[in-house]
Structure 1
Amino acid sequence: MSEARHAHSNQFALLGQRRFAPFFWTQFLGAGNDNLFKFAFTVMVTYQLQLPWLPREQAGLVIGALFILPFVLFSATSGQLADKLDKHWLMRQVKNLEIGIMALAGWGFITTQVPVLLACVFLMGLHSTLFGPVKFAYLPQQLNEQELTGGNGMVEMGTFVAILLGNVAGGLLIASENGARLVALAALGVAVLGRLTAQAIPLTPAIDPGLRINWNPFSETWRNLRLAHQQLAVFRSLLGISWMWFFGAVFLANFPAFARQVLQGNEQVASLLLVVFSIGIGTGSLLCEVLSRRHVEIGLVPLGAIGMSLFAIDLYLASAHLPAQAALLSLGSFLAVAAHWRVLADLCLLALFAGLYSVPMYALIQLRTPPSHRARIMAANNILNALFMIASSLLAGMLFGAGLTIPQLFLAVALANAVVAAYIFLLVPEYLLRFLAFVLSRLVYRFRIVNDEQIPLQGPAILVCNHVSFVDAILLMAASPRPIRFLMDHRIFRMPVLGWLFRLAKAIPIAPQKENPAVYEAAFAEARAVLAEGELVCIFPEGGITRDGQLQPFKGGVMKLLGEGIPVIPMALQNLWGSYFSRIEQGQAMVKPLRRGLFSRVGLQVGTPAKAEGLSPELLREQVATLLHMPG
């Protein structure tokens, strides 16, 4: 596992390492084969066959529902298997199963046995159900925190590039001469290739080899959901991811019908929509590491939700009133119409923002879930995803039955996404707060952090920092991969916007001891309780925001937090004096909005953790003062 700690320049460097590359190509080929098979089958029943018991406009929804049904039935069992068994062995067995399923599906294509192919859709769903918990539990076992966002981004990108290639290949092969035979050979060949790459996945020991399997899927499903619910931030992230799949499933399941009925294009146009969608979500997934600076940055999630709704609404506007065509358009004829480029741009951008939305949530769940339960938590995620996707199919069918068109369905989902996102972000304010911290540290300031690896990923710690402006706490949020509980002057809670934000952040109000001894003591009692729970606490020992830009004497209250074994981490914010949020205007802040321009350089120096023994306010002040004058 020493390789897992090696620094790399970017996420693509992981493709040169055995701990990641064979796994990446195994999941890539599996996702590609799923979609080659499903899309070829969908195109066949949409364009080539007329089945009275499977209407064309419902075919995509039926196939999608069949594929995700095993996630509901068997995710609980697959999560237990992933925690109990060696992951590299389990992934190889899943690939063996895929070969058998694709052999059966090949016969179904050649003989046009639609019931057999529907059964294979269910079996490939079972294959993906078994692989899912292993996949997401494997990554945090092999990657460190700084690699986790990039690794998840690579997996998401790879998955959707595989979807892209699988759908293109499936659409082109089934539309060609002897298409069914070619699809059968291709699907079996990809399954065999995936088994060969799985052979190179390194040994990944079982997390809980003594686990007793509960084979009852219903009781185990309920147990997994209760297990996930014990950590509310994780559980609500599971709900957020599941909503993303609800949102995405509406688009993915309806692309063939959307291409034929609304855009009036042929099979190649349907493939193009999936190509554009996959490029968008792959690009968004890769952008996560760049935008998050190689940390788990959940501030990207609200940004993603906003983009998903905006571009889905514009997709409705772009497609609702397209002129009728005399015949189905070829790919070239479709691209020759200027209005169609707006449709493609909307699809690409809504998918890009879906990538920004989903990758940080996956990384957060992997980072904050105990290793002993990680696969079962990811199984709970798959269960919720499946339930939301089934609900998506059922709701879409009901809305179609009520007379809605496909563009109107897209509009309804876009508006629902805005409502759901607002609810989730108010329910889990950490997402909203990290979004504001992300905006402040990327768009308002050029925020550079030095030695951020000194902030511990687990366990309690006391962060001690100078106090320069009203946004110090928000910038410190942006620097930490974990939530921080701040001791804040009680008067700041009376400010209209900042007070609401700090209440959302569960900041702890503190008053000077002489002014209000009860509030003073209660603040330190609450802070000690937070540390006892293994969380981070930040205190500004100057007792208030500087009015002259100089570091003030440290008050003695910080000594009340010190405890045996709890590290104290000195920190210094640089170059904030003189900004709009500092008290440079004769002790007043937020007076001249343009006092400092956008993108002003601001820094944070993080010092080496110190033991509590022997510390004093004066010594801590010296350490912060030293950091304050270090080059950024």
Structure 2
Amino acid sequence: MSHPSQFSLLRKRRFLPFFVTQSLGALNDNLFKQSLILAILYKLSIDGDRGIWVNLCALLFILPFFLFSALAGQFGEKYAKDRLIRLIKLGEIAIMLVGAMGFAFDHLALMLVALFAMGTHSALFGPVKYSILPQTLHEDELVGGNGLVEMGTFLSILAGTIGAGVMLSTSHYTTVVSVVIVSVAVLGYLTSRAIPRAPADTPDLRLNWNIFSESWATLRMGLNQTPAVSRSVVGNSWFWFVGAIYLTQIPAYAKDWLYGDETVVTLILTVFSVGIALGSMLCEKLSGRKVEIGLVPFGSFGLTLFGLLLWWHSGQMPQNIQANDWLGVLGFSQAWWVLLDILGLGIFGGFYIVPLYALIQSRTAEHERARVIAANNILNALFMVVSAIVTIVLLGMAKLTIPELFLVVSLMNIAVNAYIFKIVPEFSMRFMIWLLGHSMYRVEHKGLEVIPEEGAALLVCNHVSFVDALLIGGAVRRPIRFVMYYKIYNLPVLNFIFRTAGTIPIAGRAEDEVIYEQAFRRIAEYLNDGELVCIFPEGKLTTDGQISEFKAGVTRILECTPVPVIPMALQGLWGSFFSRDPDKGIFRRLWSRVTLIAGTAMAANEATQKKLRERVTELRGDVL
């Protein structure tokens, strides 16, 4: 069954107005902030070190995320999100009018007040921005929607950075900047009026106006979620730690290591932003339209790899050359390697960040979602401040070069993510499943929409290879508890995946009665808890590609816990490396095309051994 791409969301009213509104907000943030920084550096009459004023701008913009994110999280749950967005966008117009007055009269204090207010605007908008997506998108649209939002955000950041440079290069820059920032704010408000109603999650929530106690409570709430969510919050903030270091060092890196002018800075920012956009867009295709956290270790690996390559390829430009514009730099082959490394950082950054946002949204309770995202914003701001301190220490006190800083960050990335993946082995488990389904096998799905989004069900499938459970687990959106012969369960490497996924080992009654009885107790517990359980009723791998008789275990399960039964069949696995085909080979069936088919659900009283085998055989057909 074919699905429309994520770009089809741009034709839907429940997404497009929000997407345009948030992209315009990110654009205006960077138009104003970058214009102010350039004005301080090149236009305004200022006494003292201009660098101090630039750093003050960075502080004023990030400080509201510490102060007001917790309050924003409460607002995002207590009030209707569509109305809240419109109110925030009205505030943006007022803020930009103040900023425009600052530019018109060369009044630095007014500009700084407006910058702090824009930081407040962004802090208030953040929790609403990410908590509204699960409310307006279907589950299979969540990854694609987040990918579009990340793409829009980074391209808007790029457009704002470039646009500010263009505006400041004009002779009447004060008028141009004033008109543009106010116009973008007005346009953002107008598009926000088309956002459909998104009701409050917790309208009776009592607001705590003490920003310090509430910030601490919000941070604790975010870090006291399930391990997968809390470590996703940490992983998300770590991404901004790494990203802040790279983005902050780009101007100096372009000047000192590529011998380029300001156009080279723009080139690098463009390549990085395009990389993030590409990675974000590819997430939906690579994840099969579901929240696939297996992409997070893949993204982490790429961030480390391309960070190390960027260090390796730095310093290879010819020495003693004049400052080049971007076309001049592209004339050197060494610069192409650097740009390729930066593109890789962006692409794998997209693979890393989009699934984390989607997981936080999908696995957080509705009445806490906005506050958990607020906690994430507070932690993001904290990590970005720490990244600035680490950069000062390593470049200033430790006397590292910028490429050596990139090397240290890449090695730190290994350590931080190894900790996250150790605490939450589900990341590594899902990565191994994802890797298997995108290397040795090409898995197609048919009819999987019959599997319920929630509630208990028993999945029944033929058993062809040692990796059947991995392929099914990678195809179905919901977590599945597999019942598996204990000797397969204990296989090296695969045992890590099976244990992490909550697989149930089983043995024949005559073989080990303790394991046998324990397995049926756990099956009943999982089904009573509303989970999916998958069994292979043949009780063994096929030795000839055919479907053997079904054992009586399925009858015992349904007698104890009568739940809907969904017959399934695997096609194309016989003859692959992990099957028992005597003529199999490692390369003969490499990248095998495998199809997983699900049939109509059967009531528990209809699902006899004979009928289930007939249904599974019918679904499998003649394709072994």
The match for 1:389 among 384, 390, 396 is 384
Aligned counterpart, 1:413: 409
Change (3 A) 1:84 1:556: same
The match for 1:204 among 172, 177, 198 is 198
**d(CA) in 1 for partners of 2:339, 2:305:** 14
Letter in 2 for 1:581: F
What's the secondary structure of 2:505's corresponding residue?
strand
Aligned counterpart, 1:265: 260
Change (3 A) 1:166 1:583: same
What's the secondary structure of 1:173's corresponding residue?
helix
**d(CA) in 1 for partners of 2:58, 2:308:** 24
Change (3 A) 1:230 1:434: same
**d(CA) in 1 for partners of 2:523, 2:331:** 64
Superposition pairs for residues 326-365 of structure 1, below 5 Å? 328-365=323-360
Paired residues of 1:30 and 1:191 also in contact (CA < 8 A): yes
How big is each residue's C-alpha offset from its partner over 1:27-84, in whole Å with a ceiling of 9 and x where there is no partner?
010011111122233344456679786564x776654443232222221211111111
Change (3 A) 1:426 1:150: same
**d(CA) in 2 for partners of 1:464, 1:65:** 58
What's the secondary structure of 1:447's corresponding residue?
strand
Aligned counterpart, 2:619: 627
**d(CA) in 2 for partners of 1:266, 1:524:** 69
How many angstroms does 1:310 deviate by? 1.2
1:41 matches 2:33: no
**d(CA) in 2 for partners of 1:68, 1:626:** 61
Paired residues of 2:79 and 2:199 also in contact (CA < 8 A): yes
What's the secondary structure of 1:209's corresponding residue?
coil
**d(CA) in 2 for partners of 1:60, 1:159:** 23
**d(CA) in 1 for partners of 2:149, 2:545:** 46
Paired residues of 1:486 and 1:537 also in contact (CA < 8 A): yes
1:496 matches 2:488: no
How big is each residue's C-alpha offset from its partner over 1:127-171, in whole Å with a ceiling of 9 and x where there is no partner?
111111111121111111121111111111111111111111012
Superposition pairs for residues 578-597 of structure 1, below 5 Å? 578-585=575-582, 592-596=585-589
How many angstroms does 1:333 deviate by? 2.8
Counting aligned pairs with the same residue, the percent is 49
Change (3 A) 1:200 1:396: same
Paired residues of 1:493 and 1:500 also in contact (CA < 8 A): no
How many angstroms does 1:118 deviate by? 3.8
Superposition pairs for residues 29-178 of structure 1, below 5 Å? 29-46=24-41, 56=51, 63-178=57-172
How big is each residue's C-alpha offset from its partner over 1:467-526, in whole Å with a ceiling of 9 and x where there is no partner?
111111110121122222222222124422222332233322222111211111112222
What's the secondary structure of 2:567's corresponding residue?
strand
Paired residues of 2:538 and 2:550 also in contact (CA < 8 A): yes
**d(CA) in 1 for partners of 2:596, 2:220:** 39
1:576 matches 2:573: yes
How big is each residue's C-alpha offset from its partner over 1:256-294, in whole Å with a ceiling of 9 and x where there is no partner?
333334334333222222211111111111111222232
Change (3 A) 1:253 1:533: farther
Change (3 A) 1:333 1:544: same
What's the secondary structure of 2:438's corresponding residue?
helix
**d(CA) in 2 for partners of 1:266, 1:115:** 30
**d(CA) in 2 for partners of 1:544, 1:88:** 55
Aligned counterpart, 1:9: 4
The match for 2:453 among 448, 452, 457 is 457
**d(CA) in 1 for partners of 2:351, 2:53:** 30
1:549 matches 2:545: yes
Structure 2: which 5+ residue stretches go unaligned? none
Change (3 A) 1:273 1:115: farther
Change (3 A) 1:287 1:76: same
Letter in 2 for 1:277: F
Paired residues of 2:539 and 2:550 also in contact (CA < 8 A): yes
What's the secondary structure of 2:593's corresponding residue?
strand
TM-score, normalising length: structure 1: 0.92
How big is each residue's C-alpha offset from its partner over 1:553-593, in whole Å with a ceiling of 9 and x where there is no partner?
2222233433667332221111111111001129xxxx732
How big is each residue's C-alpha offset from its partner over 1:208-251, in whole Å with a ceiling of 9 and x where there is no partner?
21221122233333443444423221222222211111111112
Paired residues of 1:172 and 1:268 also in contact (CA < 8 A): no
How many angstroms does 1:177 deviate by? 2.7
Paired residues of 1:466 and 1:540 also in contact (CA < 8 A): yes
What's the secondary structure of 1:538's corresponding residue?
strand
How big is each residue's C-alpha offset from its partner over 1:282-337, in whole Å with a ceiling of 9 and x where there is no partner?
11111112222322222222221111111122122222354455654333333333
Paired residues of 1:46 and 1:256 also in contact (CA < 8 A): no
Paired residues of 1:301 and 1:360 also in contact (CA < 8 A): yes
**d(CA) in 2 for partners of 1:351, 1:167:** 17
The match for 1:308 among 294, 303, 312 is 303
What's the secondary structure of 1:296's corresponding residue?
coil
How many angstroms does 1:94 deviate by? 0.7
Paired residues of 1:65 and 1:393 also in contact (CA < 8 A): no
Aligned counterpart, 2:609: 617
**d(CA) in 2 for partners of 1:381, 1:423:** 18
Letter in 2 for 1:394: I
Aligned counterpart, 1:605: 597
Paired residues of 2:571 and 2:623 also in contact (CA < 8 A): no
Letter in 1 for 2:549: P
Letter in 1 for 2:568: M
Paired residues of 1:98 and 1:124 also in contact (CA < 8 A): yes
Letter in 2 for 1:79: G
Equivalent pairs, count: 620
TM-score, normalising length: structure 2: 0.93
Change (3 A) 1:246 1:455: farther
Aligned counterpart, 2:424: 428
**d(CA) in 2 for partners of 1:504, 1:240:** 20
Letter in 2 for 1:139: L
Paired residues of 2:40 and 2:54 also in contact (CA < 8 A): no
Paired residues of 1:157 and 1:286 also in contact (CA < 8 A): yes
The match for 2:463 among 459, 464, 467 is 467
Paired residues of 2:524 and 2:561 also in contact (CA < 8 A): no
How many angstroms does 1:453 deviate by? 1.5
Paired residues of 2:71 and 2:209 also in contact (CA < 8 A): yes
The match for 2:503 among 501, 507, 510 is 507
**d(CA) in 2 for partners of 1:498, 1:158:** 39
Change (3 A) 1:614 1:326: closer
What's the secondary structure of 1:371's corresponding residue?
coil
**d(CA) in 1 for partners of 2:331, 2:197:** 52
Larger mean Cα displacement after TM superposition, 614-623 or 276-285 = 614-623
Change (3 A) 1:11 1:214: same
Paired residues of 1:477 and 1:483 also in contact (CA < 8 A): yes
Change (3 A) 1:73 1:440: same
**d(CA) in 2 for partners of 1:50, 1:571:** 73
What's the secondary structure of 2:406's corresponding residue?
helix
